[in-house]
A and B are shown apart, each in its own frame.
Chain A
C-alpha cells in the first residue's frame, strides 16, 4: 500500500487542520474570525476530493487492527466531511448571532473555537466510520459526544443554550454508561473486542457445547445496552427525551450538525457492531423485533409530536426522531440469512445521505431567515415567497423532500425503506410508517403554506451571501438530482455492501 495515500491520512489532515485553527486563533490578532471558517471549508473540500484517491485497506489484517477503510467507511467519512463543510458555511452566517451570546472582551473572542470544534468532531466521526474494534468505537464516539457537549452549550449568555447543554450532558453521560456496560458484557461473553474477530469466533461459541451455549442471554443483554446507547445518539424513541430541548436550545449550526452527524455516526456504529451478531440466526431472531419496536415507537412519537410544533427548530427535532424511525425500520428488515447487511446497508446509507442533504438545506435556510426575522418560529417564515423567492423555493424543495414527495431524494430513500420492509413481510411496520408519512405531509406542508399563502408584516427583501447562496443551490441540486438519478450513489453503495 503506498503510504501517502493510506486512508488514515484523511483523519490526520482533518486533525492537523483543527490544531492549525487553534494555534492560529491563539497567535492571530483579535478581530473577525470568519477567514478561519472559509479556510476550513476549503481545506475540508480538498480532503473530500482527496478521499477519492485513497486506497482501501487491502493487505491489512483487520482482525488485529482497529481501523478499516472499506468502501462503506469511506462513504461515511465523505458524509462527515460534507456535513462539516455545510455546517461551517452555516456558522459563517451565524457568527453575528453567536457574538451576542458569548462573553468576549474583544471582537471575535471565542469565535475561532466555534469553528475549530466542528473540525475535531468531524475527525471523530471519520474515526467512528472506520472503527472495527469496540475500543475505537468507544473512544471516537466520546470524542464526538464531548465536542457536542461544548458546542451545544456554546452560547453561555443564553439560558436555553445552557439548559440544552446540561440536559445533553447528563443524558449523554447516562448513555455512555450504557455503552460501556454493554461493551463490557459483549467483551466478557465473547472474549474479543475486535468485531472481525467476534464474527470469526461467534459461530463456534454459539454452537452446542461452545463457550456461549446456554449463556446467550448475557450476549443479548450486552447488545440491548449497546442498542439503547446508540438509540440516544440517533435520537430514537424511547431514548428521545433530550432531543427537542437540546435541538431548540443549541446554536442552529450545531443543531444541524447534531441531527446529521450524530445520526450518521450512530447508524454506522450500530451496523458495524450488530453485523456479526445479526448474521447468527438465533440472535437475529431476538434482536430484530427489538429494533422493530424502536422503529415503530420513533415513527409514531416523532411524527405525531411534530404536528403540533410552532417552532421550526423544534419541529425539525421531532422530524429527526421520525427519520430515525425510518432508518431503524430499514435496520429491522435485515434479511436474517444475510451474512452481511446487503440491501439494508445500501438502504440505510442512501437514506442517510439524502437526509443529510435535505436537513442541511433546511437548517441553512432557517439560519438566514431567522437572522432577518429575529426568530425561528414557523410564523417567521410567513410571506417568505415575497421576501425572497429563492429561499422560499429552496425551502419548498427541502420540505417536499423531508415529507417524501416523488422526484426528491427523500422519496427515493423512503421508497427503498418500504421496499425492504415489504420484502421482509413486515406489514404492520409498513402500515405504521405509511400513516406517519401522511402525518409528515401535514407538518412539513404547514411550513410551505406559511411561506406561500400567508402575508408577512415585514416585506423587506432578504439578502443572502454568495457562499450561502451557492451552498443552498448545491443542496437543492443534490436533492433533485439524487431524487431523479439515484443510480450513481446506489451503485457506489452496492459495491460497499
Chain B
C-alpha cells in the first residue's frame, strides 16, 4: 500500500472519528461515523484484506449505520446542548489521554518488531478469503462462534427488556 494512501485514509478516519465525538447534532455524528467506517474499509483494501473491507462496508457502514440513522430520526433527537465540563474531569481525562499517547509514541519509536516488512506468503496463489474465513469459523474456531451466538441472544433480550414501553 502506498504510504500516501495510507496517510490519507488514516487522517480521514481520525478526522471523521473526532467529528463523531465533537458534533452536537446526532445525525451529523452518525454520518461522520459512516465516513470513518469507509476510510477504515479503504485501509483494509490497502492491506489486501478485501473480504473484511467488504464486510466493513456492508455490515457497519450499511446495515448498522442505517439502523442508527433510523433510530435517530424516529426518536427525533435534537442537537445536544453544549455542556460545561468540570475542570477536574477535563484535566484528569486529558492527563490520561496524553499519557497514553506519550507512552504509545515512545513505545513505537523503539519497537523493533514493527519495523519489519510483511513476510512473503508461501506460493503466489491468491487465497480465497471467504472460504478461509468460513472454514476457520466453522471448524477450528467453532466454540468461540457458538459463545458469540449466546452473546447475541443475551443482547437481544437486553434490548427488548430495556426498550419496550410495557413488558408483557
Contact = CB atoms under 8 A, between A and B. Distances in A.
Co-assembled chains A and B: yes
A117 B151 CA distance: 11
Nearest to A67: B143
A150 B110 contact: no
Given A146-B151, A212-B113, A215-B111, A110 B143 contact: no
A143 B113 contact: no
Contacts of B158: 117, 146-147, 149-150
A104 interface: yes
Nearest to B115: A215
B150 A123 contact: yes
Contacts of B154: 117, 120, 143, 146-147, 150
A424 B95 CA distance: 34
A96 interface: no
Nearest to A128: B147
A139 B148 contact: yes
B141 A135 contact: yes
B148 A189 contact: no
A110 B150 contact: no
A312 to B, nearest CB: 27
A143 B147 contact: yes
B167 interface: yes
Contacts of A140: 147
B161 interface: yes
Nearest to B141: A135
Interface in A101-119: 102-106, 109-110, 113, 116-117
Contacts of A124: 147, 150-151
A214 B162 CA distance: 50
A109 to B, nearest CB: 4
Interface of B: 103-104, 107, 110-114, 140-141, 143-144, 147-148, 150-151, 153-155, 157-158, 161-162, 165-168
23 contacts: A103-B166, A103-B167, A104-B168, A106-B168, A109-B168, A113-B157, A123-B150, A133-B144, A136-B144, A139-B148, A142-B151, A143-B154, A146-B155, A146-B158, A150-B161, A189-B113, A213-B112, A214-B112, A215-B112, A215-B114, A217-B110, A218-B114, A221-B103
Interface of A: 15, 22, 30, 64, 66-67, 102-106, 109-110, 113, 116-117, 120, 123-124, 127, 133, 135-136, 139-140, 142-143, 146-147, 149-150, 153-154, 156, 165, 188-189, 211-215, 217-218, 221
